[in-house]
Homo-oligomer: A and B are copies of this chain.
Amino acid sequence: MKKETAILLIHCPDKKGIIHAVTDFLYENNGNVVYLDQHTDHSHSEFFMRIEWEIEDFQIGREKIGEYFNTLIARKFSMMWSLHFSDQKKRVAVFVTKLSHCLYDILYRCHSREWDVEIPLIISNHQTLKPIAEQFDIPFYHIPITKATKAEQEAKQLKLLAEYKIDLVVLARYMQIVSDNFIKHYPQKIINIHHSFLPAFIGSKPYHAAFERGVKIIGATSHYVTADLDAGPIIEQGITHVTHKENVRDFIRKGKDNEKIVLSKAIAKDLEHKILVCRNRTVVFD
């Protein structure tokens, strides 16, 4: 049986003694560290850390850990930090349009308990995938979007996300550009899958563009969504080899396998609190 753990994600200016201070804090309070990874960006003198420890015998009560850590350690090192507990399930909303490959891959991972997560709703601008939501007994909200209705429909989406207390939004081949306003409500909490090897082939129809360019490898990129289209911090990328024998239709078909794996890997890292973002780049711990 896996024991309950606490997880600290830390980001601060690099200084001597940070690891020392953090491990000291846990050690002195009887925390059994089960995971420690850190990264120093020497060119910008920045430090990143993820540490996880069993809280059963930890001498600081769960609800006090944040306060103590902030007072005793974080301030001293000007840390940005976040604290998570392994028994808190994230609540994830999945946005889709018509393609089912990513959605099925996500739902399978929840259903099989590979991921310990809640998916309380699926939102789509089309009805196409409603039967899948029904297969998995998940509420499905059909919110069609046109240029004219975009603001109002996004408001509906945001209302739903708030009602359902959503922690993470996954755009699983959701073929709509999300507005800046929407993104502001979920900073670094929206993961998109783009079906190209970014920064190549930004925007729509990347497989068509890849085919036209005559590439020998196609890709997929999962990233946090920011105001700049397809320009947010990259979490994971994957590729598939293609040859002259394959046309756009083959690219699309083969690409799906890549997209779903790349998206699911990114979601998994987020669920495990293993991602930190800085200067539009990600630190993704193993």
Contact = CB atoms under 8 A, between A and B. Distances in A.
Interface stretch (A82-90, A157-165, A180-188, A276-284): A276-284
Interface of A: 16-17, 19-20, 23-24, 27, 32-34, 36, 38-43, 48, 99-101, 104-105, 108, 111-112, 114, 135-136, 197-201, 213-217, 219, 233-239, 243-245, 247, 253, 256-257, 261, 264, 279-284, 286
A199 to B, nearest CB: 5
Contact of A135 (B135, B214, B256): B135
Contact of A213 (B199, B201, B215, B216): B199
A243 B114 CA distance: 20
A41 B228 CA distance: 37
Given A24-B20, A112-B100, A216 B237 contact: yes
Nearest to A16: B27
A183 to B, nearest CB: 18
Contact of A19 (B19, B197, B235, B243): B19
Given A23-B19, A244-B283, A213 B200 contact: no
